[in-house]
Amino acid sequence: MALKVVCYINQFFAGLGGEDAAHTGPCIERKAVGPAMQIDNLLGGDGQVAGTVICGDSYYGEHIEEAREKCLEYIREMSPDLFFAGPAFNAGRYGVACGDIAAAVAQKLGIPCVTGMYSENPGAELYRSKTFIVKTADSARGMKQALEKMVELGKKLVSNEPLRPADEEGYFHRGIRKNYFHERNGAQRAVDMLLRKISEEDYRTEYEMPVFKRIKPAEPVKDLSKATVALVTSGGIVPRGNPDRIRVSSAETYGKYDISGIEDL
């Protein structure tokens, strides 16, 4: 029996526009739209995309509970066997939306879900323990590879096929450890790992510890009344018309603009 699949994408990949359409509320197309069309092709005879849920990144982020419930309403109505969100690559707001809706669909509807993000996307850190997030490139240049991995993993989840370790399957570790019998005891494996490390060969620990960046705090401002305050944002806020042609994603330049006399942005 062919799988019924529903996908979630943002306003940009739906072809509605960029920031000008970022406040678009949730809606649904009863067909494959944008990346969902490629997912439909990758499914082959195993399934078909029955619908694509669309929501603007800003709308989802600013009305997260409302947007989540409306998207869930559409997805529940479609009753899919499998759900895909994104991939979001390194787009932060999109990543949070993909992670949030995928986690909600898995938890509230019990439907297998897969999304995809770049390692530095904040959505990956927020939702990696709540849903399956495939590792992707930082931009849509890696769309083909990302979708292939997402579909491959999604099929395994639906069929309840045993999964290999996260690194081998290509998704972010979810913090789940499973006990199993190994043919070599811990002492043997530890010595083998040490020898590989001494020989500067590739090795991988069996128990990864979190690594936290040490960031030295800035010195406190002694007199704020005499300080010059700069507003630095990666939110894509530019003068109308984007005169410096700053890229919408993975920008390589920055702009400096005078906002004196401006009451709001």
Q: Structural domain boundaries of the chain?
A: 3-169
Q: Are 136 and 114 a contacting pair, CB within 8 Å?
A: no
**Residue 81's pLDDT is what?**
96
Residue 249's pLDDT is: 66
* 26 prior amide bond cis, ω within 30: no
Whole-number pLDDT of residue 250: 66
What is residue 1's predicted lDDT score, i.e. its pLDDT? Answer: 65
Average pLDDT by stretches of 10, the chain with 265 residues: 92 92 94 95 93 96 95 96 96 95 96 96 93 95 96 95 89 84 90 93 81 86 87 76 79 79 77
Q: For residue 258, what pLDDT is reported? A: 82
Tokens of 178: 């499973």
pLDDT at position 60 is 95
In this predicted structure, what is the pLDDT of residue 111? 97
Q: How far is the C-alpha of 155 from the C-alpha of 101, rounded, in Å?
A: 19
**Fold category of 3-169 in CATH:** Rossmann fold (3.40.50)
